[in-house]
Structure formats: structure tokens, C-alpha cells
Structure 1
């Protein structure tokens, strides 16, 4: 015993056209892809802590010092990087960056204490400012302010 199914030719044609359209939609549609600019993301994360308090030796949002802040941000941003605890040790990593080539997320270093010794670090924002911990807490600071300009040592890029 055999069964036969009668399907009008117009229905077969309609289903065939619909199948071709669906196939084209799914194969030619642009593929979603996400890329992340780690430097910009690090800078954005740093900015979320503006107004967090200063604490000598602090490494958490309850209280940061300069290098404790950069260490915390790099660990808790998408980079998930473990960087050294002190600004002097952070200065020894990465590649040096010319002022004209600074990008968001670069670390900027300063001599705020003993001459010739790196003692402060901040996270560059990409617009002539950095986010860093001052005695007043986490702030966005202009690199062109005379205090910072006079103490600038250089910058390092530790993420691509």
C-alpha cells in the first residue's frame, strides 16, 4: 500500500523560494563580532572609581594609593592583568611610549618625591588627562597642569 501526497505546484514553488531566502539571510548576514580595546576599557574602569578615597598603602575602593589603584584597575578590568604593586616596579614593565603616541590605558609616571625616583602612576584617558589617586582621592587630572608637567617621567604601554 502506498500513500501519495498531492501538493500543488504553487506551494512547492513558494516553499522553495522561502528556503532560498532563508538560506541567503543566514549565510550572507554579517557575522557579529566583538572586539575590545583594552586600553579604552581600562581607562573607563578607572573613571568609575573617581571620588574613591585616598589611603596610604590602599589597594581597594575603600582606599587607594596611586600604584594600588592602577594594580586594582588592571586586575579588575577586562585585561585581568596582575601588575606589580609599586609605581617603580610598574615603570619597569611594558614598552615606553612617546608623549605624542599616548593612548587610553597607558600608564603615566611621575616623580612626586625623591628626584630621579618614580613615585606616582596614573592611567591615561586619551584626552590629555589621567585618572589617578591624589591626596584628595581618585581624580581625573590634566597632564598639562604645572605640577604634573614638572614631574612627568614618561609613559608605558602594558596592553595592546
Structure 2
């Protein structure tokens, strides 16, 4: 009896240890895009100038991935993961010349550091600058153009 119990426990523990990391889940929303100029402008006005703060998630200071999470929750009722790394795993890759409003744009800003923003049209993106806070920047800006990595379109479940 003890041997059976030990085998059952060992199998149970082994299964837990080898379970794959779950993919982040998105909350389903109505398939209506609200990434339009009026709503983007309102979001920008509401957050414009809020300073960058690593790990921050409020209007007293926010980092890039938290801003993207807050924006998606407000704009489309979708809950995104909290970090750039987790957000980068979502959706499907979109070629730069096919970007649409609401797509996430990713940048490699250092050897192991990354940045994320939200494409808002006309080759611009909304993000949190470390020096100027929440703002709109151009993908053609010399700095951002050289750091551009890829873009993702977030699909609804």
C-alpha cells in the first residue's frame, strides 16, 4: 500500500514539475475596434506627460508595458500581461508596412532591454519615454528607427 501511495505521489509531483508554462490569456471582448483617432487622442490627452517610472502603473509614474496594459484595458477591455517579454509573446507578427492602429510595436533598446508602444497611425506610436513621459513618437525618429524590432497584432480569443 505504501509503495502504491509513493508511486502516485511521485507521478503527481513529476507532472507538476514538467508542466509547460501556460500562455497568457486574454479576456474576450466584442470584435469592434475602438483604436480610432478620437479615442487615441483622448487616451493621449489623459496620459500625456505622465512620467516614466520603472515598475510604475499609475498616473504618478508608469513604465512602457504597464501603459500598454492600462491602454488595452481602457480601450478594448482586454487584459494584457504586465511585462514587455510577456506582451511580445501575444498575437501574431505584423510586417511594418501593414501596421494598423492598436498594434504593439517593440524595440530592442539594449542588449537585454526592450520597449513597447502602441501604433497610432501615420508611422507614429504612443509610449512612455524615459525622459519625457507618455508621448507620441515617430517610427522614423533616428533613435526609434534604429531600435525597431517587430510588431504584433493582438487577436481576440
TM-score normalised to the size of structure 2? 0.71
Give the number of the structure whose alpha-carbon radius of gyration is greater: 1
Alpha-carbon spacing, 1:94–1:118, altered in 2? closer, same or farther (3 Å): farther
> RMSD in angstroms over aligned alpha carbons?
2.0
Match in the other structure for 1:110: 107
Q: Deviation digits for residues 107-128 of structure 1, max 9, x if unmatched?
A: 00001121xx461000101111
TM-score normalised to the size of structure 1? 0.70
Q: Deviation digits for residues 46-87 of structure 1, max 9, x if unmatched?
A: 42311111111111222111101001111122x111111111
Match in the other structure for 1:57: 55
Q: Which runs of 4+ in 1 moved over 3 A?
A: 41-46
| Secondary structure class of the residue paired with 1:90 | helix
Unaligned runs of 5+ in 2: 1-30
Unaligned runs of 5+ in 1: 1-34
Alpha-carbon separation, structure 1, partners of 2:42 and 2:89: 23
| Secondary structure class of the residue paired with 2:36 | helix
Structural mapping, 1:1-160, within 5 Å: 36-40=32-36, 43-48=40-45, 49-77=47-75, 79-114=76-111, 117=112, 119-135=114-130, 136-159=132-155
